[in-house]
Amino acid sequence: MNAYSKTPLLDTIRTPEDLRKLKIEQVRQVADELRQETIDAVSVTGGHFGAGLGVVELTTAIHYVFDTPRDRLIWDVGHQAYPHKILTGRRDRIRTLRTGGGLSGFTKRTESDYDPFGAAHSSTSISAGLGMAVARDLSGGKNNVIAVIGDGAMSAGMAYEAMNNAGAMNSRLIVILNDNDMSIAPPVGAMSAYLSRLYSGKTYRTLRDAAKQINKRLPKILANRANRVEEYSRGFMMDGGTLFEELGFYYVGPIDGHNLDHLLPVLKNVRDMETGPILVHVVTQKGKGYGPAEASTDKYHAVAKFDVATGTQAKAKPNAPAYQNVFGQSLVKEAQKDDKIVAITAAMPSGTGVDIFNKAFPDRTFDVGIAEQHAVTFAAGLATEGYKPFCAIYSTFLQRGYDQIVHDVAIQNLPVRFAIDRAGLVGADGATHAGSFDNAYLGCLPNMVIMAAADEAELVHMVATQVAINDRPSSLRYPRGEGRGIEMPDVGVPLEIGKGRMIRQGNKIALLSFGTRLAECEKAADELAAHGLSTSIADARFMKPLDTELVLRLARDHDVLITIEEGSVGGFGSHVAQYLTDQGVLDTGLVKFRTMVLPDVFQDHDTPAAMYARAGLDAKGIVAKVFEALGKDAKAETVKLA
């Protein structure tokens, strides 16, 4: 053992099995060292931070009390799982978090047996846990299933659907509500901890079960009264468990999630229960144990690399505005002219730029929590009354509201404006957050106008365009990150619906871009010109309605036509192909047509540039696709010209 190590006890732990060999009085030291290691690791890697610090004691206690991985432990969302990863055989790789080839920033089944369910979107844990518990019961197993879910994730309807089902089935499932916002819990102290131990202990449960048996034999009026006395005493003392008990869960808590003297005995009692679903209400502090995080309003939810001593984060100097900020600022300008504009987001105000709108128009801003289905139909309701709702939701989160987009918006042709952030590949968050599918899943819907901004200036004009579209729904997609640093318009001017624009005129190759790959198309065109290939570039602007006149002209006037988009198969390229085949343009064989889309895989996290290169959607990939269409080897051509 390293005599100078800051984490001597943690150094002896390779897996939770090693942790479980320790004496109970050593667990506090393990937790303290685990917090130190988490701080040191994330200072090097960046990533989600505050949530992990808040569950250090809870993580240590769960792995100490339960027999993981035989006992299944599911972390909702998974952004708080860094301490869990350190304890479960991944400490030697923890400084590779969110980098190419490194550990995922979330739980991932292929990464470890200790991650029984992968997650990065919230509120799935109870449903998955119930599935595992029922599978165990069907197989005659005896292991525990534990789902840890945050109070924020409890704002999603899916969590209640799962709890309602679990309560009705009476399956043995342990849900730990990690309440780090004090949004549900009253202050916690010794009395609450004592009652939690009492209520989770066998003596109380045996007495309670005996009382239930006696109640069955009492006249109904007396039995009801006896039940109410217990319910009111528990409700009064516990203040918060009534809802969960109504859903069929046995409620224990609230308890201090940083006090191992309270946490360990309660978890042991809960582990040894043999009956139905249990909810343990644990109160924690996000950012716990790291001064700068505790003092910060967002508790250092997600951070860049930082200096451990000061908490100062390393910020790259932006050379262009972030797309979400351009969206927020543009919406404010439009809303100053139009009091019918309102903004809706689902728990992502800063991520979508709605926080900028909220500062200017707090009464016209609605954060509905992690409830995308509700957000979409809420927007539809606003639209029926003549308002102009902008529903700003990440591409992957909008997937959750798909039925509502179809049934509540598109069928009724309501002018809900979808602002779709995180379009295309997003980098460190990986496949769970990559906006790959919205072109395809929205493109098949009647009545929908679909736009993609090629740069930040286009985004300004497209926001103005959405304001002007008042007879049908519309969507506007833009990526994560910074724009190109181009000159910005003072005001947005509505674009002509369904009309693209020519960027560069050539006569041999045509590159038709939809979205922010336009910059790569320009680099590719320069390289193709060096090969003597005159190249046109067009920015489609609209996928629906398609600029059919532009598409026909490009197909008829060039030898090669290639569409480029930051989305899966079934999107823009598919719509262009459908149109060209229906028009018989491809029958003549005069134009070689190709589509460039994201590969048909879920790509692992890396930098966006590396991910796009691997996807073949950078300038180099576009040039290679042109030569492939021409039947030539790009490398051979380059060598020849050199």
Whether 286 is a known active-site residue: answer yes
**Strand 474-477 to 542-544 pairing:** unpaired
Residues 92 and 85: beta-carbon distance below 8 Å = no
Burial of 227 (0-12, 13-18, 19+ CB in 10 A): middle
3-state secondary structure of 297: coil
Q: At what angle do helices 608-615 and 619-630 cross, to 10 degrees?
A: 10
Residues in the chain: 642
Whether 400 is a known active-site residue: answer yes
3-state secondary structure of 381: helix
Burial of 439 (0-12, 13-18, 19+ CB in 10 A): buried
Q: At what angle do helices 220-238 and 202-217 cross, to 10 degrees?
A: 150
Distance separating the N- and C-terminal Cα atoms of the chain: 58
CA-based nearest residue to 279, from 146, 402, 89: 146
Residues 58 and 51: beta-carbon distance below 8 Å = no
Burial of 307 (0-12, 13-18, 19+ CB in 10 A): exposed
Whether 225 is a known active-site residue: answer no
Sign of the dihedral through C-alpha 252, 254, 257, 263 = negative
CA-based nearest residue to 513, from 536, 540, 534, 547: 540
3-state secondary structure of 434: coil
Residues 118 and 108: beta-carbon distance below 8 Å = yes
From 72, 108, 364, 400, the catalytic residue? 400
Element (H, E) at 244: helix 242-246
Pair of tokens at residue 142: 């005896």
From 90, 286, 388, 517, the catalytic residue? 286
Pair of tokens at residue 498: 């369904």
DSSP state of 585: G
From 33, 37, 334, 372, the catalytic residue? 372
Taking 3-state DSSP, the helix, strand and coil percentages for the chain, each rounded to the nearest 5, stand at 50, 15, 35
Instruction: Specify the residue for token string 């871009």.
Output: 513
DSSP state of 444: T
Given its phi and psi angles, is residue 26 left (phi above 0), alpha (psi -120 to 50 degrees) or beta? alpha
What whole-number distance in Å separates Cα of residue 323 and Cα of residue 483?
6
3-state SS record for 61-126: HHHHHCCCCCCEEEECCCCCCHHHHHHHHHHHHHHHCCCCCCCCCCECCCCCCCCCCCECCCCCHH
CA-based nearest residue to 330, from 177, 488, 448, 487: 488
What whole-number distance in Å separates Cα of residue 606 and Cα of residue 613?
11
What count of other Cβ atoms lies within 10 Å of the Cβ of residue 616? 15
What whole-number distance in Å separates Cα of residue 452 and Cα of residue 420?
9
Residues recognised as catalytic: 286, 372, 400
